[in-house]
Amino acid sequence: MSEYLLQMKDICKSFPGVKALDHVSFNVKSGTVHALMGENGAGKSTLMKCLFGIYKKDQGDILLDGQIIEIKSSQDALRHGIAMVHQELQPILERSIAENLFCGRYPLKKIRGIKIVDHQVMMNETKKLLEKVNLSEFDPKMKLSSLSLSQMQSVEIAKAVSYQAKVVIMDEPTSSLTENEVNNLFAIIQNLKAMGCAIIYISHKMEEILKISDEVTVMRDGISVGTWRACELTTELLIAKMVGRELTNRFPASQSILGEAVLQVEGLSSIHEASFQDVSFTLRKGEILGIGGLVGAQRSELMEGLFGLRSLSKGKIIYHGEEIKIKSPKDAIQKGLALLTEDRRATGIFGVLSIMDNVAIASLPNYLDHGFILNYKKLENVVQQNINKLQIKAPSSRSLIHTLSGGNQQKVIIARWLANEPDVLILDEPTRGIDVGAKYEIYTIMRELSQQGKSIIMISSEMSELLGMSDVIMVMKEGRVSGFVQQKEATQEIIMSLAAQL
């Protein structure tokens, strides 16, 4: 018997113009959490997609319990006891939690010789499953569209657990979870470990990795750098192994000189009483205004209302000293506002289009000759400049965006708005699912923009990001502003106190 439950030996995978995996070997023991780390584009997700049958490996062997297995599809992986919680969720929004959990494997019963779905059995099994993973507050009949992103993530984790898998791959499972939900996930992971299950855990959150992992494998540029026991690593050492150099400062220093008020929001309220109400704030030239709060604080909803995606019942928006009306995103874009949304897959990227198309989509009028002829050369130059500036890893600007890693997709969306040269840039979780090296690059770009006089609103669930990047932090609770904190006075305790105040 092998000491390893899972072995991946000399795995290779290439795409047009790039070798994503170069003879990667990866071994996981049963009853352990094995973290897989690396910068975006390092090959982590590609390796796991080869394991789960989403991609077909070009070369190498996969062994489970010491026996070579062939995985040609996700169904093959599930039959072998390998389940995966994807970074990008794929929920069936108009179906219930129970139907999402049992999609493709519905319990059946016969009535007069005809097989039909046994809804009662499905609901009962879903209740048991949700209780098993501490999600008993969810009603199995609820539509998934009624849940928040974090709740959908919890359901997806429950689905993976339901397969009673030997190996569970978790790709950025906590990227949209609150601290309490993360603790709940960790409790589930401990239960799985006790049953002998192996967890492959992909995350960019250093503190999580060092807390939950038994072993850590680091990848860089499609190769395996090495494997270490988690107890032997520190955050600084882990970062150095990931990026191949020391990264002494996580946040660039602020050198912005704040100017006059660019945007003033007075008493902004949603037409829905349960959403944001009576919100007022001021954004100055060159300022980075951070917005903090727990899940349900209505931060994203507030910014969507400001950008014309949600209807307002009252309130004023004063832009450069004049009151304006924003009834649609088109109005917001024309005024010089930009919005990078929280969920890049659902509301950010155009997956079937190229990088160039995704960058250009918000600013096409800027590249027209004679008002109607698209100047491809000018457009290509701008797109290539942003690819270089943001260090987007892709064979070319013509590559389809869905072939990129999650972090590189995020960079493309940022490039889209930079190409439009906005005055106010609204960034909702701008570094979600992005590695530490790429985060620093985005932080640097944010600082450069603020020093150029651009104004930025940044929603973030990462406390260190709020404290490290914001000039002022506005904290929200249940749709209302609970307080403002200046950067020099801000601490984690103050922010959490405001976010949770009664």
Q: What tens digit of pLDDT does each residue of 306-328 get?
A: 999 999 999 999 999 999 999 99
- What is the C-alpha separation between 39 and 244, in angstroms, rounded? 10
- What is the C-alpha separation between 51 and 59, in angstroms, rounded? 12
Q: Is the pLDDT of residue 96 over 90?
A: yes
Render pLDDT for 255-293 as a digit per residue (tens, 0 to 9).
778 999 999 999 999 999 889 999 999 999 999 999 998
- What is the C-alpha separation between 449 and 425, in angstroms, rounded? 9
Q: How confident is the model at residue 502 (pLDDT cuts 50, 70, 90)?
A: very low
Contact 185, 178 (CB under 8 A): no
Q: How many helices and strands (H and E) does the chain possess?
A: 17, 24
User: Would 6-243 and 250-336+460-502 be classified into the same CATH topology?
Assistant: yes
For domain 6-243, give its CATH number from 3.40.50.300, 3.40.50.2300, 1.10.357.10, 3.30.56.10: 3.40.50.300
For residue 324, the model assigns a pLDDT of 95
- Arch. (CATH architecture) of 250-336+460-502: 3-Layer(aba) Sandwich (3.40)
Highest mean pLDDT among 188-192, 207-211, 412-416, 476-480: 476-480
38 versus 428: which is more confidently predicted? 428
Q: How confident is the model at residue 245 (pLDDT cuts 50, 70, 90)?
A: low
- What is the C-alpha separation between 102 and 91, in angstroms, rounded? 12
- What is the C-alpha separation between 53 and 34, in angstroms, rounded? 20
Q: Are strands 198-202 and 33-37 parallel, antiparallel or unpaired?
A: parallel
- What is the C-alpha separation between 87 and 165, in angstroms, rounded? 18
Please provide the DSSP assignment of 81-121 as one string: TEEEE-SS----TTSBHHHHHTTT---EEEETTEEEE-HHH
Please give the sequence-ordered ranges of beta strands (E in DSSP) within 360-454, or none if there are none.
Answer: 368-369, 373-374, 424-428
Mapping DSSP to helix (H, G, I), strand (E, B) and coil, where does residue 373 land? strand
Question: The pTM is what?
Answer: 0.63
Round to the nearest angstrom and report the end-to-end CA distance of the chain: 57
Q: Which alpha helices (H) appear in 102-250, and where do they start and end?
A: 119-132, 149-162, 179-194, 206-212, 235-243
Q: How confident is the model at residue 231 (pLDDT cuts 50, 70, 90)?
A: very high
Query: Hey, where are the domains in the chain?
Result: 6-243, 250-336+460-502
Q: How far is CA 140 from CA 116, 129, 210, 501, in A?
A: 19, 10, 34, 31
Name residue 36's beta-bridge partners.
202, 217
* Averaged pLDDT for residues 68-93: 88
* Residue in the block written with tokens 């501490």: 134
Render pLDDT for 375-410 as a digit per residue (tens, 0 to 9).
888 888 888 888 887 778 888 888 889 888 777 888
* Residue in the block written with tokens 């405001």: 498
